Copies of this chain bind each other. A is one copy, B any other.
Amino acid sequence: MKKSLGANTLAQPTPVWLVGSYDAAGKPNIMTIAWGGICCSKPPCLTVSLRKERHTYPAILARGGFTISVPSQDLVRQADYAGMVSGANADKFAAAGLTAVKSELVDAPYVDECPLVIECRLFKTVDLGAHTQFVGEILDVKAEESVLGEDGHMDLELLRPLIYSPGASRYYAVGSVVAKGFSVGKEIGG
């Protein structure tokens, strides 16, 4: 029996991404978001949603780009911190003991300690209400070789990204492989 939970943002699962930018003073900053995802294959784009009052909001508009750093499970404290505190009041890189690396492709920093980083040029903004979508065209994806499997692809059991669950506000680990895509469905058809 299904129970109504109301008109809420309770979709599952959501990612945990650190959005990197330089603020007006040139200080590197990160903010943690769960409202985002891939949104287009060609051009390759992802989207992150920010409230207008966030310190990162004018930073992305001013510099025309941003980065996504995907923290591993070991960085859960840093990720949670970067989602609670504003870069207007803190040097989050310094406080969290993280290293800012200037992207060579966009005018934004990424987090060296994160095993996966994505460099994005601001492609489009879409105002939706409380949040504005920043659609970024992916210019490059960089991953630590240690998170690539023998097939050359990222292996989530090595990457160990965090999963965020809205509602409960809990971070989860990724478990083991359930199945190969475009494969097990053939047992039904296609």
Contact = CB atoms under 8 A, between A and B. Distances in A.
Interface of A: 1-15, 17, 34-47, 49, 68, 70, 73, 76-85, 90, 95-96, 116-118, 123-124, 126, 128-131, 133, 135, 137-145, 148-149, 151, 153-157, 159, 161-190
Given A13-B163, A130-B41, A80 B185 contact: yes
Nearest to A138: B7
Nearest to A32: B185
A156 B12 contact: yes
A163 B154 CA distance: 14
Nearest to A114: B2
Contacts of A154: 10, 12, 165, 167-168
Given A11-B68, A36-B39, A76-B184, 16 more contacts: A1-B145, A3-B144, A9-B45, A37-B47, A39-B47, A40-B128, A40-B133, A47-B133, A81-B187, A84-B182, A95-B188, A153-B165, A156-B170, A163-B163, A169-B182, A171-B177
